[in-house]
Structure 1
Amino acid sequence: MTSVPADPLIGQTLDGRYVIRSRIARGGMAMVYLANDLRLERRVAVKVMHEHLAEDENFTRRFEQEARSAAGLSHPNLVNVFDQGHDLGRTYLVMEYLPSITLRELLKQQKRLTAEQALEIGGAVLSGLAAAHQAGIVHRDLKPENVLLADDGRIKLGDFGLARAVSANTTTGQALLGTIAYLSPELVTRGIADARSDLYAFGIMLYEMLTGSQPFTGEQPMQIAYQHAHSEVPLPSAKASEATPEIDELVRWTTQRDPEDRPRDAAEALAFMSGLSSGHAPAGATRVLPYDLAGGTPTPSTTALDGAQRQALAAGLGDDPAETGGTAPQPASAPPSPIDRAAASAARRTRKGRLTAALLVLLIALAGGAGWWFGQGPGSRVTVPDVAGQQMAEAQGALEDRSLLVEVVECSSLDVPAGLAASTDPESGSRLDRGSTVRLCQSSGPKQLPVPTISGLPLEQAQRTIREAGFTFGEVLEERFDASTADTVLAALGEDGEPLAETYPERGRVDLVVSAGAIPEVAGLSVEQATRALQASGLTVDASLAAEEHHAEIEKGRVIAMIPTTDPVRPGDSVGLTISLGPELFEIPDVSGMGLQEAMDALAGAGFSPTTLVPDALRGFAKATGTDPAAGERVPAGTEIRVKSTISL
């Protein structure tokens, strides 16, 4: 596994204004970067939608909707949005940069929060949420990851990526959005959300802050969705000693399964929480809930209930004897609490059609959970992009943007230059689960194959051998005269013009040099005969290149040899002829008066072959008197010369 390459957006400038410096965070829809605003000289956070999501009109529309929704909100507890645009093929959103950690990170560090911390953070979240609700905006994705705790103590709510106008009140259509652990029952079963859906998510988040865990868990998202639709949220005091009855009541109030039994909006919940934060119940009442959930008169606080009533409330029971078994006494002077009355009403409805309702909720929850899981959640499948020919960093980024794990390997490629991305395994176009591993092939160029013996083969056989070995036959670069038979391969050359080595790249071009046959033998032929023979072989006889010389055996006027002008000689080259002058003649010296042996030595030294009739024993007494042929005549070297002599005793 190789190291992750640098983000290709880092160092880029969006719309000539926002210089991307570093990556801050990664989300399901977008990547968040730290950038410099060149115009206003300030640091900003730039949220860039994932490139593959830009192809989906629904995602693009939702992203742009976030910009419009968030830009219309101005509140100390909401992240400010400055700008929105599209550049470098990416849609982006410019927000205030807030050095911070998220509530999720704080929970990981502390496990659970104190009641004071939970109320402080919860109050800030409700304050920002109230501003959004007042503007007609539903957040739809409230969770600890979207609550920012700034280094300077500010608490801000961000990421309105799933925000939608309250008046729209429409379903998600293709799949449920938001994090399954915080989805309200109406979102799970009907895909419909309003301001009260945000309060359900807030109640779950408040429970998690106090207890350090979520109220509903399961191995599959659909199991969690079913619990949201079918079960009551337990009281935080069952797991956290710091949770007061008033906090229990707020959690139960905001997490009622029926939206009609929750606060109308964040402002109503905030008004109640403000009383808790200040250490007393809301002004003008001794009750916990500001309104009767059943629409009746104000009810006493749980602080006015006896121990049995509190126990029944903590267990999630109502005032119906059928639910309590008749064991929870209630004084006649104490009217039922709002939670008791809501629970009793739910119990009566449940008894009328428990089985039918359970089956219906189960089916809806399964469908909704499955739709979310396979549509937008971790179980959704993504398409492997085509990255062939891209730089490795760009290709790896494209795969990781689709939530795929990347394993880099090397492989040969005929079409992609070495060092670039060649292919993926599984191949492009495949549909995979998010988190799947994809092998990204980095091209090492064509495969190196062994080179067979090509020289010495006939041309046609050599061409077949080249193709069978995995190479590509190019052309016959040249023909040259050689002692080999015509069309015999003399050399195999690579694309660089050099002879092939032991290995050569797959499909590489191989050019050949072949024999044009032997040069015709012209010695002893007349000039005309020699010219015709050479021209028939493709050579040009140039008379200006002719030369003459003596030859002992070839008569005068005949051709001794061809004169080449190139090496090697190729068809079409110009050549000359060496023409014989006949044998060279030498003058016979006059040896008269010399001793016989001296005369013979003189003739031998002149290149002739002297002979005599005088025996060897008498040569010392003989003198030369002449030669035959006679002295002064010109004859070829080596001619036999008989020495005439006389003997003096």
Structure 2
Amino acid sequence: MVQEPTQDHFIGTMVDGRYLVRSRLAKGGMSTVYLATDQRLERDVALKVLHPHLANDPIFLQRLSREAKAAASLSHPHIVGVLDQGEDGHIAYLVMEFVKGHTLRDVLTEQGALAPRLALALIDPVIEGLAAAHNSGLIHRDIKPENVLIADDGRIKVGDFGLARAVSANTSTGALIGTVAYLAPELVLGQPADARSDIYSAGIMLYEMLTGKQPYDGDSPIQVAYQHVNAVVGRPSDIVPGLAEDLDELVQWCTATDAENRPVDGTALLAELRHIRTTLTDQQLDHRQGPGPNPYPAASATTAVGGGAGSPTEALPTTASPTEFISHQSNPTTIMAAGGSALQHSRAASGGDVEQDLRQPGKRELKRLERQQTKDRARAAATPVRPLREGNSRRRGVIWTIVIIILAMLAAAAGWFFGMGPGSPGTVPDVKNKTVAEAQQLLRTAGFQSEPRDVFDDDILAGLAVGTEPESGAEVRKFQPITLFVSKGAQLFPLPDLTGGTLDEAKTALNAAEMALGNVTEAFDEKVPAGVVIAQDPAKGTEVRHGTPVALEVSKGPQPIPVPDVRGKAQDAAVKALQDAGLKAVIAPERVKDKTVAKGLILAQTPANGTLRRGEAVTLTVSDGPKMVKVPNFIGKQADVAEKELKKLGLTVKRTDWLGAFFNTVREQTPKDQEVPEGTEVFLTVV
């Protein structure tokens, strides 16, 4: 894959004080996508920065905020999560789940047509994700291979929920947004989109997966859009002979020009898709035509947002299938409208459904086909085969008069219906923060009928109205149903148990639960090793919103204890002093004689200082007192000899000289001829 150049003034900047932009991954018609790091939650995210023409429109930003909230409420393994949305000055952005991998477009570019087994396996999670979205009242509007993300670990997700809907609501009255190769006919004709529009796009995508090419092509987007309205998608087996008939029926069921003839939503399609996968034989599932030319040249590289420089996540192709705007006010739209009328005329003239004449219906369409045939027979029976009372001009004149009167009455009724009756336009009132009863009354007063639908909302109290669909201020026909969104309050999630693991493990668990790391404090603990989380606030199991900060207390291990100096103390006193400090005293087995420390006192300790943990040992050495020495009698002997011998015995000598010690002879000695402790002082008188 080819990566977009990374020279960009955004790189290295901090968006909204939280998202550090690391590199640019892709650029499309609506936004530029960056790889960024969420500094608060310490995780990588895909940051989609919208182009200025969208970011500077306050009405669009309000719409985008609502759509982002709705998309964020989708929690499904096959839908890329919308994590945040906001504005930073003139920057409007979306924050999405960061998926490392590639796109379905990359697979089709590399392999071309896929075996049915692989094609069905790849589209199954896409339809499952759409089913979850449709069940929540959301539609995508831009299903295409570039928006199908395949993670490196095999997970498949649908991206860009909410953005296409928000952008399409922001365009002019006569414009629509979408990738023309996958655009449903009703969107080309300016009609409202619903779940069946997503089904059509998914059917076109399945056709491309099975055949390696798109069903329609042309020199301009308008030519392709024209074919969506006025042509019928062919059978995949016409391109890849030998494909199972069930696959032809499935593709043509999804791509019926009339939305009434398609599956009603993703749930209905998913059931049929899985039924077909279980009924096809291995030979049918593994059938594949020999390798053919690649429908997408290598130059149309796709860059995905996801794995850093090498493997991004959200597909934004450079040339393959760009999202395009098509104006209904342009000449090509008029051509389509005319073409649509021609198609209706062709159907009426033939007395049946042109599309059905070109298909071989399966069992799932028998009932619908029977109903259509009944209508055709009733219409044929009501059409006279010859004029009434040929030749009676007066009777024909009366009949034409009656017909004209009836047509006038119908025109008057239609005028009333669309001018003052249920078909007249009305403005949807603002019901935000109103009670359900108040909101419904406001809508009834404006002429609308509403259906409440509960949704999670972080800002609106439970039981109050969040808004409507269509939104407040929109001008719609009064017979159109209004969906009233009622807040269930903020969606809460139970906190995981973060104690017992390291701080890094707790951070990982918080990221996985989409919670924030709060204050981290440390405390001594005698039983828990250092670095292990010993407490959290809020406690485990507490239900909180995503992004709630969780404070952690981390153990510093046992508290160190300063070693007291007990040298010179009596043995019992020394032992007690160590025990009072929380340490253990160990007495050395042998006592040591020392001339300076009395017997029974502590002579030495190991360690002598520093710190220990509670319960650790200090070894004490007890003095056995000084050694006893017998003092010889040196009276009458030379003083120098006496002094030398006494010192040799470990005694100290104090000498007093008389008459200048002329003879250097010891005249008196104290003590003498007795045992004294080593170090005792011996007094010598020398003459």
State TM-score, norm by structure 2: 0.41
Structure possessing the higher relative contact order (Cα contacts under 8 Å, 6 or more residues apart): 2
Structure number with larger C-alpha Rg: 1
TM-score after normalising by structure 1: 0.43
